[in-house]
Structure 1
């Protein structure tokens, strides 16, 4: 009979025939190593996008409003990251974080909008 071992620590396994790990911490450690590297980079960007979306959503409850760029900056908004852009016929560029967006106006003001799609 073949001796089955934990994929993480190599200890012998006892129990179910399809068991791969000896405990939850070995399973978590194995999966964290497997998902590391470039996935950590994606997780970091997703955290930034979620934070940006939360800030826009909080400041834009009526689905269209204006605010100052400094207000977003003070709340930790990162202007480098957004999910897409939309350019109007007049040339105004809206930067969107999922369904929440903003466009730059005169005097460091921003117009916040919500995309209804």
Structure 2
């Protein structure tokens, strides 16, 4: 007596080999793709999400190429300075942390914490750490 087997992706009845798990290659591919997405480590998703948020915030506040903004302004929007992609040191040994093409450096002026925001420039490529 033959048992009715169903496709693991779409639940259609399968005919053919006894060890067959999917009705066609599309269902097989779709099933494994969904499984891969579900198994993606949460850590990488969190890092990617925070980097995208940081970049968006820096882009909003840095329209001119260089600007200074109070730290609480960007921090209140969810900016996290611990998430960055690379860094660059200028001639004064000041280190700018970058989120893709937008950089920032923490600075204290008159007791107020601020961020100096910059945009990546071609000359920085030669002086990169």
User: Smaller-chain TM-score range?
Assistant: 0.7 to 0.9
After superposition, where does 1:60-79 map in structure 2 within 5 Å?
A: 60-79=62-81
Structure 1 residue 7 displacement after superposition: 4.8
Counterpart in 2 of 1:111?
Answer: 116
Distance 1:61 1:79 in 2: 19
Larger radius of gyration: 2
Provide the aligned C-alpha RMSD in A. 2.9
Measured in 1, the distance between the counterparts of 2:27 and 2:89 equals 52
Alpha-carbon spacing, 1:9–1:41, altered in 2? closer, same or farther (3 Å)? farther
Structure with the larger strand share:
2
Q: Across the two proteins, how many residue pairs are aligned to each other? A: 108
TM-score by length of 2: 0.69
Q: Structure 1 residue 111: deviation in Å? A: 0.6
1:7–1:20 Cα contact (<8 Å) kept: no
Query: Unpaired runs of 5+ in structure 2?
Result: 16-22, 123-129
The residue number in structure 1 matching 2:96 is: 94
Partner-residue secondary structure (3-state), 2:104: strand
TM-score normalised by L of structure 1: 0.75
Could you tell me how far apart the structure 1 residues matched to 2:105 and 2:49 are? 22
Tell me by how many angstroms 1:110 deviates.
1.1
Within-5 A mapping of 1:79-90: 79-90=81-92
